[in-house]
Amino acid sequence: MKHLKNSSQKFTKISSVFNNTSATYKFYWFWSILESIEDGKRIIEKKELFARMLTLSWYTVNYFQISFGKQDLIQNAILTLKDLENLPIDAKQNQIFNTLVGSKNSSTLKTLQHFDKNVPHKFLSPWLGTGSKSKIYELSSNSKENTPYALQTDQISLYKDWFDFFRDNLGVLKSFCFWNLSLFLQNRNPSVPEIPNKIYRPIIRGSLLNHKRKYWDIVLDKIGFIDCIYTEEKLTKGNYIIEHFIPHQFLAHDLMWNLIPAESSFNSKKSSKLPRIDDYFDDFYHLQKEGFDIIKKTSPKNKFLQDYLLIFPKLDFNKSKFQEHIEPMLTIAHNNGFEYMQ
């Protein structure tokens, strides 16, 4: 019973860490600690934790281009380190982490060290208040204060009871951290869809083979060919790829209302760039409408028709309603850093 009470008190204290949070630092610091504990570490180098913080936020910043807010310097740090260490935006986590933690580049070290200014000791404010940095460091070394860790110059040392608590509740605590980080970022990006799907490294994209065979191939069987809206090349069955009109990096889904056939080499060129509404929407709409009408008539139970229900609850395909859905997302994506096609 006492153990349960102590655990409950610890959960309450950890929860209070994230009250009135104005940046993502505490979320990523705590997540980094949990990752290190998962590796069995009780004494953790700060450099390792700072490298983990940037590794964990790497894809959210680089791949999905989510805004962290003006007060948050994690974005700037990641963009700086990407160039300093010549890391690709879709590098694997191990590559990013190992590169950062092992770097001897003085600029990289300075960028990582910046987070030592406030993050490690301010995380302890629910236990030790908001006193000076030196005072917090001093108090954290007193086990009677019941803080999760003691602060040293280059490392933190987790107290055993907290280490055991974190280790025994890793799944719950990671979920708690993930959920609250999702809420924080959604609040900073109210119009951006699928924020929870943009926190972890993008999973290898699912195959679009069914989208091709069970939807657009049926359309092509009916009409013979489709003009690529970008190149005007005639696309025939077996001679096209499926492409995301609004980049997958922004939407993080493969719903049919955003997918069209396209010429394969142009799709590679387009990459994550945005199509301009004035240049491409009319052709995009007409292609979508033609495909939708054919599938609805010839295969009314086709599961991909359900993808359109979000926009057209009665499956009444309408140009103005479609544009009202597409155009704001292109604007938001551009405001978040996605470039338009030239």
Q: At what angle do helices 2-17 and 170-188 cross, to 10 degrees?
A: 20
Mean pLDDT of 98-111: 96
Q: What residue type is 171 in one-letter code?
A: G
Query: Tokens representing 58?
Result: 């790497």
Query: Tokens representing 54?
Result: 């940037």
Percent of the residues in the chain that have a pLDDT greater than 90, as a whole number: 76
Closest among 342, 223, 207, 200 to 291, alpha carbons compared: 223
Rounded to whole angstroms, the Cα distance separating 249 from 244 reads 10
Query: Tokens representing 151?
Result: 């602060």
> Which pLDDT tens digit goes with each residue over 246-302?
998 888 889 999 999 999 888 778 888 999 999 999 999 999 999 999 999 999 999
pTM passes above 0.85 = no
> Which pLDDT tens digit goes with each residue over 26-85?
999 999 999 999 999 999 999 999 999 999 999 999 888 898 987 889 999 999 999 999
Q: What is the structure's pLDDT at 2?
A: 44
In whole angstroms, how far apart are CA 166 and each of 1, 157, 173? 19, 13, 7
Residues in the chain: 342
